[in-house]
């Protein structure tokens, strides 16, 4: 079977019939997109100590997921769907590595809620300024409570934003990584603070 020259949908139909050759052609076709996105994100992630090969590998995993889960009922092209899966997988990896690198959710969590009058007992470390996270320690029970609230309350995009913020990324960097503008990140942070403050104040 000659797969060269087939479009994405024709290749996907053969993949559904367990054709490894068709799958490999899709991987070859989309590898430049993966490498390009990995190079872009890597410029922001060097401080986390990851290698660009790690991002490329995660992008490949994202593409494989796109191949296995796409169907023509989606109101998007395969290219758009694959690009989203690739990007989401890479961002999830960056978030995970940031959490490990900075131990944000383990040894010392420096997530605190910001209150404009600075009277809130949780502090104000979600503002986009400089601070020394090592100076702020929350006991294990408090850390778990905040993490539980984050996981139960926030949307997936909000989780990405807050975990990137915890990991030390600035608003502009977060905006570039998730493909939004700085105003979007600022507005999202306001929503996050309000959601977490309400939930934690009820406990």
Q: Measured between alpha carbons, how far is 77 from 74 in angstroms, rounded to an integer?
A: 8
Q: Do residues 114 and 194 both lie within one domain?
A: yes
Looking at 10-164, which runs of residues are DSSP E strands? none
User: Between the CA of residue 81 and those of 1, 32, 68, 73, what are the distances in Å?
Assistant: 26, 16, 11, 12
Q: Do residues 116 and 179 both lie within one domain?
A: yes
What are the pLDDT digits (tens) for 110-145? 444 444 434 444 444 444 444 444 444 445 566 667
Q: Measured between alpha carbons, how far is 121 from 112 in angstroms, rounded to an integer?
A: 9
The closest of 10, 4, 57, 12 to 35, measured between CA atoms, is 57
At residue 169 the predicted structure's pLDDT band, cuts being 50, 70 and 90, is confident
pLDDT at 1: 61
pLDDT at 164: 84
Which tokens sit at 78? 């395969």
Q: Do residues 94 and 180 both lie within one domain?
A: no
Please say if the pLDDT value at position 10 is more than 70.
Answer: yes
At residue 192 the predicted structure's pLDDT band, cuts being 50, 70 and 90, is confident
Q: Do residues 90 and 140 both lie within one domain?
A: no
What are the pLDDT digits (tens) for 15-62? 999 999 999 999 999 999 999 999 988 888 777 778 899 999 999 999
Helices (H) and strands (E) in the chain, counts: 8, 0
Torsion angles phi and psi, residue 126, rounded to 5: -90, 0
CATH of the domain at 70: 1.20.120.1810
Rg over alpha carbons for the chain, rounded to the nearest Å, is 20
Identify whether 2 is part of a domain: no
Residue that terminates a domain, selected from 102, 119, 152:
102
Residue 158 belongs to domain spanning: 103-203
The closest of 118, 66, 54 to 90, measured between CA atoms, is 54
Q: How many structural domains are present in the chain?
A: 2
Residue that terminates a domain, selected from 102, 134, 154:
102
Four-residue CA torsion sign, 114, 116, 121, 124: positive
């Amino acid at each position: 079977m000659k797969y060269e020259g087939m479009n994405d949908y024709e290749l996907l139909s053969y993949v559904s019939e367990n054709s490894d050759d068709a799958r490999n052609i899709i991987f070859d076709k989309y590898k430049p997109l993966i490498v390009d996105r990995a190079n872009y994100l890597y410029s922001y992630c060097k401080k986390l100590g990851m290698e660009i090969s790690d991002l490329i590998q995660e992008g490949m995993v994202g593409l494989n997921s796109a191949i296995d889960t796409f169907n023509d009922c989606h109101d998007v092209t395969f290219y758009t769907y694959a690009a989203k899966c690739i990007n989401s997988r890479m961002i999830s990896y960056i978030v995970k590595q940031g959490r490990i690198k900075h131990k944000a959710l383990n040894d010392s969590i420096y997530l605190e809620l910001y209150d404009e009058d600075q009277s809130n007992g949780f502090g104000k470390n979600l503002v986009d300024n400089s601070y020394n996270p090592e100076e702020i320690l929350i006991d294990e029970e408090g850390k778990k409570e905040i993490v539980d609230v984050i996981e139960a309350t926030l949307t997936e995009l909000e989780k990405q934003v807050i975990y990137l913020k915890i990991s030390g990324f600035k608003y502009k960097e977060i905006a570039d990584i998730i493909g939004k503008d700085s105003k979007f990140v600022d507005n999202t942070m306001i929503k996050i603070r309000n959601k977490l403050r309400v939930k934690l104040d009820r406990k």
